[in-house]
C-alpha cells in the first residue's frame, strides 16, 4: 500500500498548551481517523519547533497524541506545565529523523502551519516524492482583511498561494470544510486541482451534567476566540442595554468562553471596566472539555453573531448536545446548522434582543427550535475521513 504521511507540526507546536484551538482538534481528528484507516501504512512527519523537518518516530507520536488528549480532558494548566524543563523531554522525543523520507506517497496536512513558507513546503514534498493533500479552513483574512491582524491578509495570501502551487506541482488535491470555503478557494487553484467538500466532524464532548443556572437565572454561551469578526461587541452592548432596562433578576447571564485574540480593545475594555456588566457577564479564557460540555448542556442557547466564518463548529457542538443556536445568517453556518438554528443578521440588534429574551423564558422561538432539533444531522468525523480517504485513493498510482 502506498504510504500516507500526516504532518503533525501544529500539534507539536502546541506542546505547552492544555486548551486546544479548533485547528488543534482538527489535526488530532485527522491523526486518529487516518490511523484507523491506514494503520501501519500511516507515517508521521513534522516541522519541529527547532526548524528541522523529518519523520517522527511512530511510538513517540502515538504517546504524544495520548498525552495531548489527556491534557485537553483534564483541568491542568499550570506554569510548570508550560515551563521549558517540562516540555524539553517531549521536544527531544519528537525530534524528527530523515529515516524514511523520500519513500513517496500522499502527504496530508490539516493545519496552516508553515504554509507561509512556500519554499519549505515545496522542498518537503520534493524530498518526500509525495502528492500534496491539504485541508483549507477559510480565506477570511483575505476576504475580510479588516478582521485580521495588520499583516494577516498578506500572510494568508502566501498560505493559499503555497497550497495552489504545491497541489498543482505534485498533482495533489484540496479538502475544504464547507462549500462556502470551496467557492472562495476555487479561483486560486489550477483548473485541474480537485476540491473535496467535507464538513468537519462534531466533537464528541464528554458526558457531563448540565451546569445549573447561575443564581436561578438562565444563561447563554458565546464560544470562540475574542476577535473583531466574532462580533462580541453586539452581545456586550445588548447585555448592557438589558441590564439598564430590566430588573437585575430578569437579565439572563452571558458566559463568554474563549481566549483573547487581537485588536479587541473595545471588547476587553467592556469586559474589564463596564460596571453594568459585572453582575451579568462572565469571561472564561480557558475551559476544559468537561466544563464546556456542562455549560453548553445547561445553556438556553449558543450565541454566534459572527461577521464571517469558514465553518461553525460551536453551532455543531451546541446542537449535538441538544442546545439551541442563535447565529448569523452565513452560508457556512447554514451548512452546519441546516434549518434548525435561528438565523439573524449580525447587525440586527433588535432582532438579537428579541431572540435572547424569547429563549430566556422558553418562548415560542425556543419551543420551535427545540421541535426542529431532533431532525438535525450531526456531521461526523467518520463521514469526513471517508471523503479524505477517497481523495487519498484518487491520488495514489
CA distance 363 to 368: 9
| Closest of 370, 212, 213, 206 to residue 292, by C-alpha | 206
Q: What cell was used for 210? A: 448540565
- 71 against 275, higher pLDDT: 275
Q: What confidence score (pLDDT) does residue 394 get?
A: 96
Collapsed DSSP state (helix, strand, coil) of residue 384: helix
Q: What confidence score (pLDDT) does residue 50 get?
A: 93
> If residue 80 lies in a helix (H) or strand (E), which one and from where to where?
helix 79-82
Tell me if 8 sits within 8 A of 29, measured CB to CB: no
| Extents of the domains making up the chain | 4-201+380-395, 219-375
Tell me if 37 sits within 8 A of 385, measured CB to CB: yes
**Is pLDDT above 70 for 237?**
yes
Collapsed DSSP state (helix, strand, coil) of residue 186: helix
pLDDT in tens, 102-125: 878 999 999 999 999 999 999 999
Mean pLDDT value of segment 192-201: 97
pLDDT in tens, 324-367: 999 999 999 999 999 999 999 999 999 999 999 999 999 999 99
pLDDT in tens, 138-172: 999 999 999 988 899 999 999 999 999 999 999 99
CATH classification (class only), 4-201+380-395? alpha beta
Collapsed DSSP state (helix, strand, coil) of residue 95: coil
Fold match between 4-201+380-395 and 219-375? yes
pLDDT confidence band for 242 (50 / 70 / 90): very high
> If residue 93 lies in a helix (H) or strand (E), which one and from where to where?
helix 84-93
Q: What confidence score (pLDDT) does residue 75 get?
A: 57
| Closest of 94, 2, 28, 101 to residue 57, by C-alpha | 94
- Residue 108: CA count within 13 A, CB half-sphere: 29
Q: What cell was used for 205? A: 464532548
pLDDT in tens, 35-92: 999 999 999 999 999 999 999 999 999 999 999 988 887 756 555 555 667 788 999 9
**Is pLDDT above 90 for 212?**
no
Percent of the chain with pLDDT over 90: 81
| Closest of 219, 209, 218, 223 to residue 294, by C-alpha | 209
Mean pLDDT value of segment 196-217: 85
**Is pLDDT above 70 for 2?**
no
Q: What cell was used for 115? A: 504554509
Collapsed DSSP state (helix, strand, coil) of residue 88: helix
Give the phi and the psi of residue 81 in degrees, each rounded to 5. Answer: -60, -30
Percent of the chain with pLDDT over 70: 97
Can you tell me which residue has the cell 512556500? 118
Q: For the residues of 275-297, what is the DSSP string, one character each?
A: GGGTTTEEEES---HHHHHHHHH
| Closest of 138, 330, 293, 296 to residue 222, by C-alpha | 296
Q: Are strands 53-56 and 42-47 parallel, antiparallel or unpaired?
A: antiparallel
Q: Domain 219-375 maps to which CATH number in 3.40.50.2000, 3.40.50.300, 3.40.50.460, 3.40.1280.10? A: 3.40.50.2000
Q: Are strands 105-109 and 42-47 parallel, antiparallel or unpaired?
A: unpaired
Tell me if 94 sits within 8 A of 11, measured CB to CB: no
Amino acid at each position: 500500500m502506498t504510504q500516507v504521511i500526516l504532518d503533525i507540526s501544529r500539534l507539536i507546536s502546541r506542546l505547552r498548551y492544555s486548551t486546544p484551538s479548533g485547528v488543534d482538534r482538527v489535526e488530532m481528528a485527522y491523526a486518529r481517523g487516518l490511523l484507523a484507516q491506514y494503520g501501519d501504512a500511516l507515517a508521521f512527519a513534522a516541522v519541529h519547533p527547532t526548524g528541522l523537518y523529518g519523520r517522527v518516530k511512530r511510538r513517540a507520536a502515538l504517546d504524544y497524541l495520548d498525552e495531548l488528549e489527556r491534557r485537553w480532558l483534564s483541568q491542568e494548566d499550570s506554569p510548570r506545565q508550560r515551563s521549558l524543563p517540562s516540555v524539553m523531554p517531549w521536544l527531544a522525543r519528537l525530534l524528527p529523523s530523515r529515516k524514511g523520507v523520500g519513500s513517496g506517497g500522499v502527504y496530508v496536512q490539516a493545519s496552516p502551519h508553515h504554509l507561509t513558507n512556500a519554499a519549505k513546503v515545496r522542498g518537503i514534498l520534493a524530498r518526500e516524492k509525495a502528492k500534496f493533500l491539504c485541508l483549507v479552513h477559510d480565506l477570511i483574512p483575505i476576504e475580510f482583511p479588516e478582521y485580521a491582524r495588520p499583516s494577516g491578509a498578506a500572510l494568508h495570501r502566501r498560505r493559499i498561494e503555497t497550497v495552489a502551487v504545491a497541489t498543482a506541482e505534485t498533482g495533489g488535491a484540496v479538502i475544504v470544510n464547507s462549500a462556502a470555503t470551496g467557492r472562495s478557494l476555487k479561483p486560486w487553484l489550477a483548473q485541474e486541482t480537485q476540491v473535496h467538500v467535507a464538513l468537519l466532524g462534531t466533537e464528541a464532548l464528554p458526558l457531563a451534567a448540565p451546569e445549573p443556572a447561575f443564581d436561578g437565572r438562565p444563561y447563554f454561551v458565546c464560544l470562540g476566540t475574542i476577535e473583531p469578526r466574532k462580533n462580541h461587541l453586539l452581545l456586550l452592548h445588548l447585555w448592557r442595554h438589558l441590564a439598564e432596562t430590566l430588573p437585575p433578576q430578569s437579565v439572563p447571564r452571558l458566559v463568554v468562553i474563549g481566549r483573547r485574540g487581537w485588536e479587541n480593545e473595545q471588547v476587553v475594555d467592556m469586559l474589564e471596566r463596564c460596571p453594568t456588566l459585572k453582575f451579568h457577564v462572565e469571561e472564561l479564557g480557558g475551559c476544559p472539555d468537561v466544563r464546556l460540555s456542562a455549560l453548553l448542556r445547561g445553556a438556553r442557547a449558543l450565541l454566534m453573531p459572527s461577521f464571517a466564518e469558514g465553518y461553525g463548529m460551536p453551532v455543531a457542538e451546541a446542537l449535538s448536545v441538544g442546545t439551541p443556536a442563535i447565529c448569523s445568517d452565513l452560508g457556512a453556518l447554514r451548512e452546519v446548522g441546516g434549518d434548525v438554528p435561528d438565523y439573524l443578521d449580525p447587525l440586527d440588534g433588535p432582532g438579537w434582543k428579541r431572540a435572547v429574551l424569547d429563549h430566556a423564558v422558553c418562548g415560542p422561538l425556543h419551543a420551535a427550535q427545540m421541535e426542529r432539533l431532533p431532525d438535525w444531522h450531526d456531521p461526523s468525523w467518520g463521514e469526513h475521513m471517508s471523503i479524505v480517504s477517497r481523495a487519498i485513493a484518487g491520488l495514489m498510482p
